């Protein structure tokens, strides 16, 4: 069962991220510090998980999770990292109480903006 409230929150978060990325594209050099600070302060948490690694070897991040909102509803940005730790894929997901995480459908333009947003972070 999908929550319309959760889907609308994901849509709202998507729009605000797209506006922030657009501001970054057109910002003067002296404005970038404030925009980057806003980007870095957007997620509630930045998390990574590793793939399967042989015992004794150093764990290497393989996936990332930017938790944007919690509770009912919640929104997150998730994806895979390339071998350099840079986001290679991206999805925005939403959920409400007692519902699974559901992918929000993205246009190519939205996908590129969210991926660019995710690439601001170090993993």
pTM (predicted TM-score): 0.90
**Is 12 part of a structural domain of the chain?**
yes
**Is 10 part of a structural domain of the chain?**
yes
What does the pLDDT profile of the chain (123 residues) look like in tens digits?
Answer: 568 899 999 999 999 999 999 999 987 877 888 999 999 999 999 999 998 899 999 999 999 999 999 977 999 999 999 999 999 999 999 999 888 999 999 999 999 999 999 999 988
pLDDT of residue 2: 64
Nearest C-alpha neighbor of 85 from the set 118, 39, 114? 118
CA gap 42, 59 in Å, rounded: 27
Instruction: Kindly state the tokens that stand for 38.
Output: 């806003």
Tens digit of each residue's pLDDT (9 = 90 or more) over 36-55:
999 999 999 999 999 889 99
Task: Count the domains in the chain.
Answer: 1
**Is 23 part of a structural domain of the chain?**
yes
Q: Phi and psi of 27, rounded to 5°? A: -75, 150
**Is 123 part of a structural domain of the chain?**
no
CA gap 96, 72 in Å, rounded: 4
**Is 44 part of a structural domain of the chain?**
yes
Domain residue limits at 109 = 4-50+61-118
């Amino acid at each position: 069962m999908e929550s319309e409230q959760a889907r609308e929150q994901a849509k709202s978060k998507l729009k605000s991220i797209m506006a922030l990325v657009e501001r970054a594209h057109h910002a003067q050099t002296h404005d970038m510090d404030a925009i980057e600070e806003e980007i870095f302060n957007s997620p509630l948490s930045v998390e990574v998980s590793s793939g399967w690694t042989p015992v004794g070897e150093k764990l290497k991040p393989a996936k990332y999770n930017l938790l944007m909102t919690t509770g009912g509803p919640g929104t997150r940005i998730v994806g895979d990292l390339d071998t350099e730790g840079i986001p290679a894929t991206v999805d925005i997901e939403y959920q409400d109480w007692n519902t699974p995480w559901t992918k929000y459908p993205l246009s190519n333009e939205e996908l590129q903006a969210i991926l660019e947003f995710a690439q601001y972070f170090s993993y």
